Structure 1
Amino acid sequence: MSTRSNTPLAPHAAYPAPSAVLELLKPVTWFPPMWAFACGVVSSGVPVLPNAYTAIVGVVLAGPLVVATSQAINDWYDRDVDAINEPQRPIPSGRIPGRWGFYIACVWTVLSTLVAATLGTWVLIAAVLGLLLAWIYSAPPLRLKQNGWWGNAACGFSYESLAWITGAAAMLGGALPPLPVLAIAILYGAGAHGIMTLNDFKAIRGDREMGILSLPVQLGADRAAWVASAFMAAPQIVVIALLLGWGRFVGAGVVALLLIAQLAMMRRFLRAPVERALWYSGFGVPLYVLGMMASAFALRAFAAG
C-alpha cells in the first residue's frame, strides 16, 4: 500500500472548511471509547455528580480528542487508497487541502496530551499510550493496520481498555485504578479484537487487492468468523468467573445472560459470516457493550464494599 507524502491532492481552497475538518475527525467513531470511559467512571466507585467536570472533560478527551486524532492520522496515511475507493473523503477530494490533514493530526495530538495532563499522571500516561498506538497503527514503518492480528489488538486495547482505565484514573484523581478494574478493562479490550474483525468482512476484496492482511484475508471468512467469535466470548467468560469469585453475583448473572444471547446470534453469524457480519455487529455487539456497563456497576459495588 502506498503512503507517499507527495500524493497529488486537489486543493480547492487554501484552508479547510470547518465542516471538512469535522468530517475528517469522524464523530461517528467517538462513541465506543466514550462508552468505555463512562464504564471507567462508574467502576471507580467515585460519585459522579461532585466530579462532573472531570467526567465531562474525560469524555471529551476519550472521543473528540484522542479518537478524533486517530481518525485524522488514519485518513492522512490512507489518502492514496481513499483516492481510489472513497474519493469523496475530505483529503482526496481536496476539501482538506495540501498537508492540512497531517497538520490537524499533529495539533489534535498535542491538544489531547495537554488536556490529559490536567487529569492526573495515570490519565496522561494512558492518553499518551493511546496516541502512540494511533500513530503506529496507521503510519509507516510499523503501520499495524496492515495485519489484522496486530491492528485489531491495538484498536481494541486503545478504544476499550485504555479508555476504561483512563475514566477510572480520572475519577480517582489521576491515581492508578485498583487491580479488579484493570483486569476487567483489559479483558473487554481483548474481546474488542473480535469486534474489529467483524468490521473487516465487508472489505475482504479490497483488502486483498491492497495487500492488507485482515483476518478474513489471512484465514478465510469461515475461520476468521470463528476467531472473532472466540475473541469476543472468551474474555466475557473470564469476566463472569472473576465477578463470581468476588461475590458480585448480580453483575455476573447479567453478563452471563448477555453472553448467552450473543452465543445464540454467533451461531447464525457463523453459518454465513460475510453476509451476516454487519447484522451481528448491529445486534450482538450492543449486548457486549451492555455487559461492559454491567461489569462496571459490579466493580463499583466492589469498590464501595
Structure 2
Amino acid sequence: MTETASITPAATRPQPAAMLEVLHPITWFPPMWAFTCGVVSSGAAVLENWLFLLAGVVLTGPLVCATSQAVNDWYDRHVDAINEPDRPIPSGRLPGRWGFYIAVTGTLLSLALGAVLGPWVLGATVIGLIFAWIYSAPPLRLKQNGWLGNAAVGFSYESLAWITGAAVMIGGQMPAWEILALALLYGLGAHGIMTLNDFKAIEGDKQMGVRTLPVQLGVQGAAWTACVVMIVPQLVVVGLLFAWVQPVHAAAVAALVMVQATLMVRFLQNPIERATWLSALGVSVYVSGMMISAFAVRAALAGSAPL
C-alpha cells in the first residue's frame, strides 16, 4: 500500500491580521501625539478646526507612520528571519511581495491626503516619506548606523509632526521660534528612545552588519547614551520654560524628568532585559512632558509678543 504525501501549497494571499501587524499600530501614537502637541502649541482654536486636526492625526499615524513601518519590515525581512522569525513577512503570513505593495500603497495614500490638506502639509508629508524610505531602503539605509537612523526617526516622528501640526493651524506660516525649539528638542530626545528599541535585536544586527548603538558602543555604552540623550534636551526645555515665565509648567516637566531618571537607574542595571520596560514606562512620562510644554509655549505666546 502506497501513501501519498499531501502537500500544502504556499500561501499567495496575506492574512488580514498579518497586514495589520506589519503596519504596527502601536507605533502610530508618537507622531499623532506630536502633531497634537503642535496643534496645541500653535495657539489656534482647536474645536474650530477639529476636522483638520482629525485629518492630520490620520495622516501622521495610520498613513505616514504605518507606511514607514511597512517599509522597514520589508527591507528588514532578512534580519527579522534571525531575530523575530514569527513576524508577518519572514513567517510567510505576508507572502511574496505583499509587504512592498503595502508600503507603496501607503506612500501614495499619504501623498494624496497631504495634497488635499494643503501645500505645507504636502511638503511635510514628502519629507517624512523620504525619511521613511531612506531609513530602511538601500542604498542609503540610514538604520545601518544608529546615529543617523535614530536621528531620522526622531526628527520625522516628533519634530516634523509637531512643526506640521503648528503650521497648519496658523495658515501654513512658519511657527514661532519657541515652537520650533521645543519640536527640535523633543525630536532630539527621541533619538534616545529609538536606541531603547535596538537592544532586542543585537545578535541579528551584528550578523547582518547593522551598526546600531548597542552594536557600536556595547550594551552599557548604548544604555548610558540613550539615557543622556533623552534627559538633556528635556532639561533644556525646563530652562526655556522658566525663561518664558512659565514656572508651573517648567516645574511639572522637571518632575517628569526626575521620574524618568529614577526609572533609568533601574534600567542601567540590566539594559537588555529592561529596555522594553523603560520604553513602555519612560516614554509615557516623556510624551506627557511634551504636552505640558505645548501648553506652556501656547500660554507664553498668548501673553506677549514672540519672546
Q: What's the TM-score, normalizing by structure 2? A: 0.91
Q: Which residue of 2 aligns with 1:234?
A: 232
Q: Which residue of 2 aligns with 1:202?
A: 200
Encode CA deviations 1:187-232: one digit per residue, 9 max, x unaligned. Answer: 0000000011111122222222222111111111111111111101
Alpha-carbon separation, structure 1, partners of 2:257 and 2:219? 23
1:76–1:91 CA contact under 8 A, matched in 2: yes
Q: Measure how far apart 1:261 and its partner are.
A: 1.7
Q: Aligned pair 1:80/2:49, yes or no?
A: no
The equivalences for 1:158-177 within 5 A come to 158-177=156-175
Supply the AA of the counterpart residue of 1:56.
L
Alpha-carbon separation, structure 2, partners of 1:84 and 1:274? 17
1:125 partner SS: helix
Q: Measure how far apart 1:74 and its partner are.
A: 0.9
Alpha-carbon separation, structure 1, partners of 2:129 and 2:184? 17
Question: Where in structure 2 are there 5+ consecutive unaligned residues?
Answer: 1-8
Alpha-carbon separation, structure 1, partners of 2:263 and 2:77? 36
Q: Which residue of 1 aligns with 2:57?
A: 59
Q: Measure how far apart 1:11 and its partner are.
A: 5.1
Please, what is the CA RMSD of the aligned residues?
Answer: 1.7
Q: Which one of the candidate residues 222, 231, 244 is aligned to 2:242?
A: 244
Q: Count matched residues.
A: 295
Q: Which residue of 2 aligns with 1:28?
A: 26
Q: Which residue of 1 aligns with 2:104?
A: 106
Alpha-carbon separation, structure 1, partners of 2:17 and 2:152? 29
Q: Which residue of 1 aligns with 2:133?
A: 135
Q: Which one of the candidate residues 176, 182, 185 is aligned to 1:184?
A: 182
Alpha-carbon separation, structure 1, partners of 2:127 and 2:176? 19
Please identify runs of 4+ aligned residues in structure 1 that moved more than 4 A: none
2:38 partner SS: helix
Q: Which residue of 2 aligns with 1:12?
A: 11
> How much identity, in percent, do the aligned residues show?
65
1:56 partner SS: helix
Alpha-carbon separation, structure 1, partners of 2:22 and 2:258? 38
Alpha-carbon separation, structure 1, partners of 2:10 and 2:35? 37
1:127–1:166 CA contact under 8 A, matched in 2: no
Encode CA deviations 1:208-258: one digit per residue, 9 max, x unaligned. Answer: 222211111111111111111110111011111111111111211111111
Q: Which residue of 2 aligns with 1:193?
A: 191
Q: Which residue of 2 aligns with 1:295?
A: 293
Which structure has the larger Rg over C-alpha atoms?
Answer: 2
CA distance change for structure 1 residues 81 and 265 in 2, over 3 Å: closer, same or farther?
Answer: closer
Alpha-carbon separation, structure 2, partners of 1:196 and 1:219? 15
Q: Measure how far apart 1:118 and its partner are.
A: 2.3
Q: What's the TM-score, normalizing by structure 1? A: 0.91
CA distance change for structure 1 residues 269 and 89 in 2, over 3 Å: closer, same or farther?
Answer: closer
CA distance change for structure 1 residues 278 and 165 in 2, over 3 Å: closer, same or farther?
Answer: same
Q: Measure how far apart 1:267 and its partner are.
A: 2.2
Encode CA deviations 1:161-191: one digit per residue, 9 max, x unaligned. Answer: 1111111122223222221111100000000
CA distance change for structure 1 residues 75 and 41 in 2, over 3 Å: closer, same or farther?
Answer: same
2:79–2:205 CA contact under 8 A, matched in 1: no
The equivalences for 1:136-151 within 5 A come to 136-151=134-149
Q: Measure how far apart 1:60 and its partner are.
A: 0.2
